Structure formats: C-alpha cells, structure tokens
Amino acid sequence: MAYAVLKQGREGRARARHPWVYEGEIDVVAGDPKPGDIVDVVDHRKRFLGRGFINPVSSITVRILTWIEEEEVNEEFFYRRLTEAREYRKVVAAGASCYRVVFSDGDFLSSLIVDRYDDVCAVQTAAFGTDVRKTMIVGMLADILGVSKIYERNDVRSRELEGLPLQSGFMMGQFPTAFWAEENGFSFWVDVERGQKTGLFLDQRENHKAIAPWCEGARVLDAFCYTGGFAIHAAGYGARQVLAIDSSGAALEIARLTADKNGLGDRISFREGNAFDVLRELEARRERFDLVIIDPPAFAPSKRTIEAAYRGYKEVNLRAMKLLAPGGVLVTCSCSYHMRPEVFLQMIADAAADAGRSARLVELRSQARDHPILLGVDETHYLKCAVLRMS
C-alpha cells in the first residue's frame, strides 16, 4: 500500500485523531497513489497513524477514515460505517422523517453528506475519495435506508479545490425534485435541486422546536427568515403575530405558501428587505416584540473575515435587543465556523452592553444531534444558537 510520511514534529494533529492531513504536514508520498486511492499515514519513523484516501491536488491531501491498523478500507468498511450512521439516527432523530443521515467527519466518513427527506435522499461527495466511490455508496444507501430516490447535490464550491466538477442530477430513480415534507409536525417545501444546502436547514430542526416555550401569545420578529423555518414554528407554537423578514423575494414566496399550507397565514406577515435596514426602521418607530429571532447567513466564510463578521453580528444583535420588550427573549444564531462559541458569546455581551440591556443566557445550543460534533475536530462544530432573556 502507498503511504504518506509526515514531517517530524508535524504528527500532532494526526495523533490526536484529526482526520485532515494537510499538504504542508507531509514529507513524502511513497508508492505513486492516484487521486482517491487508499493510503497509510505514518510518522517519520514509519509508525502507523491512520488510513484514508488521498488527493495530491488538494490542500487537504489525505482524509483519514480509520486509526486502526488492522482495519481495511474496502466495501465492507463503507457499508459498516453507513449502517452505524443510520443506527445512530434511530436514536437521535427518532420519529423524524427528515434528517441528516451522514455528517462527514462527524460520522467518520470525511466529505460525505447524506440528507433524507421522507423517501428521497440527497447526496454530496465533496472530495475525490468519496466521489470516485459514489456509485457504490448510493447502492449501499438504497439497501440500508430502503430508498429508491437519490439525488446528487454536488454543486458545492469546495469540490473545485479537489479538482472535481460541479454537478447535480438523479443518481437513482426519477422523481419530482420539489415536494412537501414534514419537520416537527409542520409541512415545509423542499427543493433538493435548487434549495439551500440540500433542500432544508436540517441543522436547525431541534432549535426550531426549542423556541416553543417562548411563543404562546407572543409578538415575534424573525429576521433572515428564508423560507420561514422559525416563523412557521413560532406561529404554530401559539404566537399571536409574526413578522418575518428576508431579502429574497423568491424565498418569501415559498414562506407564504408554507404559512398557508400549515393554516398559519393569518398570523404571519412577510416583508422583503435588508434585515439591518428594517430593524433600524422598526426601532425608529419604537416597535416592540416579545421574541426576536436572528438567523443570518454566514458572515465569516474565512478566518480573515472574522473581524468584519464580528461587527456585523454585533450590529444586528444590538438592533434586535433594542426591539425587545423588557423580559423579552432573543434567539440568535451563527453558522460561521470561524465564529467560535466563546467569541460568539463575547459578541452578544458586547452588543448587550452597547444596547444598555442585561442579557441572561438561558441556553447555548448547537446544530441538531444528527449533525454530530467530533471533539478535537472544531470544523464539525459550526452552528451556535443562543437563547437569552433580556432585561
């Protein structure tokens, strides 16, 4: 078997079981492996560290799949890992019809994403090693999950860093790619061909449900509402009035249809506009809300943008706090991996100080449990969701 020898003193991450081996950590690659081939990772004394697939053109040159020297990475290995992932979801997503089946490194299957929407699966193979095996993986998913409708959503830009083309299409079966599916008892419009991520923000499923205690009789503001995930749940959990804001008219059209589908159209109003501008306008009109939800897109796509992102998050949270009635609740999110939890909480504290408000942290949540966080691999912990009571 081919193998990658790490530079002396650069073995720490691999020894700590981080699955990514960067180009700069490798001294030499022996055996002339092709992209996607399985290789061993060894230290400078040729002692085994891990085994995974290689892509010499990627800065993440090796993605480790196992740290057990006796474990072969073959068809049986992938079938076992996929089965283990499904068994885990039987516990953490029991009763859900829409959930993430495989979460890349969180399920020890680096670069593989599988989402299930009832009887449809959407698959992403973001690295060369999973992409060359996707036909095999799809066949295994059909067997393990009992599905016959599988769609490829390989339009993520990270594939270009692997030397892979962007592409989408049917991998098994022919079926409508847009349909209604259920989350927490509510119907949502899923578009596995064109929707954000693979159709829904499944990582927010548990956070959507967590707002229930704060909704009964409340006046609610949902900024960056997209297709209405939080807004629909708020109204469904008893809010008397919900104002939902988004800059995308197309997303708001789906949100309106979703509100009507769930019989909630009379309690939710939708407004197209820039959330920052609308929040300032509402503040100038001295509007007050009992619950404000802030769930913006990622402001920090890279480490070098974190300073500007901090300012953006602080500004929108400050505006939200000024709109809350005394004793009101703020639910604020960040999906920026580079905005680490401790920095996220400091940003909220800074916003509260500038707003002249006191904030009590009720709970700090993360992505749904079907997106498991692998300790020591910070990249698997990206979503933060803070629930705060404001005084």
- Which sequence positions are flagged as catalytic? 335
Query: Which pair of structure tokens corresponds to residue 246?
Result: 């988004």
Cα angle 301-306-312, degrees, rounded to a multiple of 5 = 95
Q: What token pair was written down for 96?
A: 């859900």
How many other β-carbons are positioned within 10 Å of the β-carbon of residue 267? 17
The span from the CA of 189 to the CA of 255, in Å, is 9
- Per DSSP, the three-state class of 325 is strand
* Apex 218 CA angle, 390 and 246, nearest 5: 85
- Pairing state of beta strands 120-125 and 112-117? antiparallel
Interior angle at CA 373, CA 368 and CA 374, nearest 5: 160
User: What is the CA 362 to chain-centroid distance, rounded?
Assistant: 23
Long-range contact set of residues 316-319: C-beta below 8 Å, sequence gap at least 24 = 316/223, 316/275, 316/276, 316/279, 317/347, 317/348, 317/351, 318/351, 318/354, 318/355, 319/276, 319/279, 319/280, 319/283
Residue 209: how many other CB atoms lie within 10 Å: 14
Q: Which of 269, 203, 263, 268 is nearest to 234 (CA)?
A: 268
Cα 159 to Cα 39, 48, 165, 168, 254: the distances in Å are: 21, 29, 7, 12, 29
Q: Are 65 and 77 in contact (CB under 8 A)?
A: yes
DSSP H helical ranges for the chain: 12-15, 75-92, 128-131, 134-145, 205-210, 229-236, 249-261, 275-284, 306-322, 341-355
- Distance from C-alpha of 93 to C-alpha of 87, rounded to nearest angstrom: 10
Assess contact for 190 and 272: CB atoms under 8 A.
no
Strand partners, 186: 183
